[in-house]
Chain A
Amino acid sequence: MLTAVRNQLRVCALSVKYNIMREMLNKVTFVTNVLFMMFNNATFIVQWVILLRLRDDVGGYTMREVMLLWGLAASSFGLSRILFARVFSLPELIINGKLDSYLVQPKNVLLSVMTSGTNTSAIGDLLYGLLLLCIFCFSVKRLLLFLLFTVTGAGIMTAFALLAGSLSFWFVRSELFASHMVGSMTSFSTYPDGIFKGAARFLLYNVIPVGMMIYHPVHIMIAFDAAKLFTVLGYLVLLSALAVFVFYRGLRRYTSSSLMAARM
């Protein structure tokens, strides 16, 4: 059992390594991708600086909390797309029958698929998040919590993308739905939760799990709350289990295809 887990991890690590090697084939493109993503993210700071000069806070968030929110959103998003980028294109893999090559390998299909792609610019996101934390609200305790929540956030985002993407096993063109759901998660994760009331707030804590991915962790990093911490961890476990269950149920319906395909 342990050997099997070790071998599986060895393959996943190799897969991630080869993905990054592929992205680094052109060094200039690689470096500019990373830097421009950081630059692109940084432009949003200007908006918040202007806004927070006009008001003391937005939805209860001052500049420090907003930067923490942005940092965690960027890092979680980045880590998820560095390690599990392929999960975000799962509908395309399902519809075009590109899971075949993973299904004939003696390894966990889901892990093999998820780790088979990476996104260079996501490295910029991850670094940007850490940079914001270091510049605006650094403390050792906060850094450790930030790293933990980057992992849980990436986990929640990946599980949510997996859940939404797996619907393609049942519904044609559900890739648009999946893409909107994941997109809305990214968009909402950069706004303070205090501005959302009623149904919107309910949605953000239940249907689109931004609350568990970003809002609760930000609250914990500002004022530590063990109950909230366990809620986030519990939610991650439950959502991941549900997403994996739905993926494997869907896999029984996988129809493959005869389209020509290459592993790029």
Chain B
Amino acid sequence: MRVIEAEALSKNFRVKHKEKGMRGSIRAVFHPQTEEIRAVDRVSFGVEEGEVLAFIGPNGAGKSTTIKMLTGILYPDGGRVEVLGIDPVKKRKQLAYQIGTVFGQKEQLWTHLTPYDNFCFFGAIYDLSGREAERRIAELTEIFELSDFINTPVRSLSLGQRIRCEIVASLIHKPRVLFLDEPTIGLDPVVKENIRLLIRQMNKELHTTIFLTSHDIGDIEKLCRRIVIVNSGQIVMDDSMEHLKYHYLNRKIVEVKLQEETALPKTEGITILKQKGSRVRLEVDTSVIKINDALRSIDAEHVEDINISNIPLENIIMEIYKSEGRGAVQ
């Protein structure tokens, strides 16, 4: 069952332009100039129930604008959108009961209150009775391991603890779809990993659909089964992670340490990325040359140490941003 459906979704922003300096400011008073920017340009996609989707793109690509239209924060200028069969524009409140949102850059919690008081407040917002809220808070406190700081004012918590509380606050009403906009921004690797673990657990146990935007490749790689890449307001790629890796991970990075400094022969499909003394870093295009043929060309007898790895997903995504940015490919 599809829980999110967007069809030709568009959003434009009118941006004022001003020439530089004082003269520009004065001219702007009498001759204001504006430009219409297409933040989201006829974007169409669907999300199945229980899916974990990464919606990624460079800054200004239209990710947050799309999320804001899906959650009813922004009104679309064109197209159609439905979340759980509800139009966010017409029935924002009805939809809000069924979705949760976490904006990594915007806190929803009251900083002077304890997480417990905050959760009670959110319980009231979602019309939970006192007893229901209590039960839910106890449940989430255990899952998210909040007991050590549930009675400490939010302003005294670490960033990681706060984000955990933000997520719990957005889960208090058992949402069917959770929108996470850069939930791990500014967190250290250990806390990031914990948050990812909790998100995975939530998806697995509660079957919550997760719609994630993040610049952190770790989030995407470890959480998502499907990836949608947007650039300049358009979808440039919509594929499963498995497919993405299969199609784009045809290039391997081979790092070798030779017994002595040797000039390597030029072979089609092998690019020398770096050579320093006897250490060489190569990129092997496996669609041109098989990896064992590539190793043969290096002369394996003289190899002291070797490491073969995939091209980092980050590089692949960067290449997609650059190559597909000009035209939309779905």
Smallest beta-carbon distance A192→chain B, Å: 39
Smallest beta-carbon distance A264→chain B, Å: 6
Residue contact B96 to A104, C-beta cutoff 8 Å? yes
Residue contact A263 to B121, C-beta cutoff 8 Å? no
Q: In the complex, which residues of chain A have a beta carbon less than 8 angstroms from the beta carbon of B96? A: 104-106
Residue in A3, A254, A255, A260 whose beta carbon sits within 8 Å of that of B105 in the complex:
A260
Smallest beta-carbon distance A198→chain B, Å: 32
Q: In the complex, which residues of chain B have a beta carbon less than 8 angstroms from the beta carbon of A10? A: 124
Complex alpha-carbon distance, A30 and B321, angstroms? 54
- Interface size grouping (class) on chain B: 20 to 34
Q: In the complex, which residues of chain B have a beta carbon less than 8 angstroms from the beta carbon of A252? A: 75
Complex alpha-carbon distance, A104 and B97, angstroms? 9
Complex alpha-carbon distance, A105 and B96, angstroms? 6
The yes or no answer to B127 lying at the interface (CB within 8 A) is yes
Residue contact B124 to A11, C-beta cutoff 8 Å? yes
Interface string of A24-43 (1 = CB under 8 A from B): 01000000000000000000
Interface string of A1-32 (1 = CB under 8 A from B): 00100010011001100100110010000000
Residue contact B117 to A256, C-beta cutoff 8 Å? no
Interface residues of B in 93-127 (CB under 8 A from A): 93-94, 96-97, 99, 101, 103, 105-113, 117, 121, 124-127
Residue in B71, B74, B101, B121 whose beta carbon sits within 8 Å of that of A255 in the complex:
B74
Complex alpha-carbon distance, A156 and B121, angstroms? 29
Residue contact B94 to A106, C-beta cutoff 8 Å? yes
Complex alpha-carbon distance, A189 and B251, angstroms? 75
Smallest beta-carbon distance B131→chain A, Å: 15
Residue contact A104 to B101, C-beta cutoff 8 Å? yes
Residue contact A107 to B106, C-beta cutoff 8 Å? no
Residue in chain B with minimal CB distance to A4: B127
Complex alpha-carbon distance, A100 and B92, angstroms? 12
Residue contact B68 to A105, C-beta cutoff 8 Å? no
Given contacts A107-B125, A172-B16, A256-B73, contact A263 B111 (CB under 8 A): yes
Q: In the complex, which residues of chain B have a beta carbon less than 8 angstroms from the beta carbon of A263? A: 107-111
Q: In the complex, which residues of chain B have a beta carbon less than 8 angstroms from the beta carbon of A99? A: 73
Residue contact B124 to A7, C-beta cutoff 8 Å? yes
Q: In the complex, which residues of chain B have a beta carbon less than 8 angstroms from the beta carbon of A46? A: none
The yes or no answer to B64 lying at the interface (CB within 8 A) is yes
The yes or no answer to B183 lying at the interface (CB within 8 A) is no
The yes or no answer to B72 lying at the interface (CB within 8 A) is yes
The yes or no answer to A50 lying at the interface (CB within 8 A) is no
Residue in B74, B107, B121, B126 whose beta carbon sits within 8 Å of that of A106 in the complex:
B126
Complex alpha-carbon distance, A19 and B210, angstroms? 33
Complex alpha-carbon distance, A18 and B103, angstroms? 22
Complex alpha-carbon distance, A103 and B109, angstroms? 14
Residues of B near any A CB (own CB < 8 A): 13, 16, 64-65, 68, 71-75, 92-94, 96-97, 99, 101, 103, 105-113, 117, 121, 124-127
Residues of A near any B CB (own CB < 8 A): 3, 7, 10-11, 14-15, 18, 21-22, 25, 98-101, 103-108, 172, 252, 254-256, 258-264
Q: List 5 A-B contacts (CB under 8 A).
A: A10-B124, A18-B112, A101-B106, A104-B72, A256-B64
Taking A18-B121, A98-B106, A106-B94 as known contacts, 14 extra A-B pairs with beta carbons closer than 8 A to each other, sorted by chain A number, are A7-B124, A11-B121, A18-B113, A21-B112, A22-B110, A100-B103, A104-B72, A104-B96, A104-B99, A106-B97, A258-B105, A259-B105, A263-B111, A264-B111
